[in-house]
Structure 1
Amino acid sequence: MAVTATGVFRRTPRERADQRLAWERADQPFFAAGACHILAWVCRDTYPDRPIGLAGLRFAGERQVFHVYATWAGWAFDHAGWNPEADLLAANREFERRPLDRITIVDDLAAFCESQRHRMPHRYWGDPLPRARDYVNRHAPPWE
Structure 2
Amino acid sequence: MYRLKPGIKTDPKRRWALPDRIFFGYGACHILAGVYLARPPLDGFYAERIVPKDGFAGNHIFVTDGAVAFDYHGYSARRALLEHHMAGWAAQYDRKWACRIEHVTFDLLSRSDLNARKMLGPDQYFSDPVARANAFINRIDHLVAYEKATLTL
* TM-score computed with the length of structure 1 as normaliser: 0.84
Match in the other structure for 1:99: 98
CA 1:30/1:49 → structure 2, altered by over 3 Å: closer, same or farther? closer
Question: Matches of residues 1-144 of structure 1 in structure 2 within 5 Å?
Answer: 8-47=1-40, 50-60=43-53, 66-97=59-90, 98-109=97-108, 110=110, 111-141=112-142, 142=146
Match in the other structure for 1:3: none
The code of the aligned residue for 2:117 comes to Q
Greater CA radius of gyration, 1 or 2? 2
Counterpart CA distance in 1 for 2:27 and 2:105 is: 20
Shift of 1:64: 8.1
Counterpart CA distance in 1 for 2:82 and 2:66 is: 15
The code of the aligned residue for 1:137 comes to N
Please say if residues 38 and 121 of structure 1, whose CA atoms lie closer than 8 Å, have aligned partners that are also in contact.
Answer: yes
User: In structure 1, the residue corresponding to 2:34 is in which secondary structure?
Assistant: helix
Q: Which has the higher helix share?
A: 1
Structure 2 stretches of 5 or more lacking a match? 91-96, 149-153
CA 1:48/1:25 → structure 2, altered by over 3 Å: closer, same or farther? closer
Counterpart CA distance in 2 for 1:95 and 1:49 is: 28
* TM-score computed with the length of structure 2 as normaliser: 0.79
Match in the other structure for 1:4: none
Runs of 4+ in structure 1 off by over 6 angstroms are 62-65
The code of the aligned residue for 2:68 comes to W
CA 1:101/1:133 → structure 2, altered by over 3 Å: closer, same or farther? same
Please say if residues 37 and 46 of structure 2, whose CA atoms lie closer than 8 Å, have aligned partners that are also in contact.
Answer: yes
Percent sequence identity is 25
How many residue pairs are counted as aligned between the two chains? 137
The code of the aligned residue for 2:114 comes to C
Counterpart CA distance in 2 for 1:63 and 1:116 is: 15
The code of the aligned residue for 2:105 comes to V
Counterpart CA distance in 2 for 1:132 and 1:96 is: 25
Please say if residues 65 and 116 of structure 1, whose CA atoms lie closer than 8 Å, have aligned partners that are also in contact.
Answer: no
CA 1:112/1:71 → structure 2, altered by over 3 Å: closer, same or farther? farther
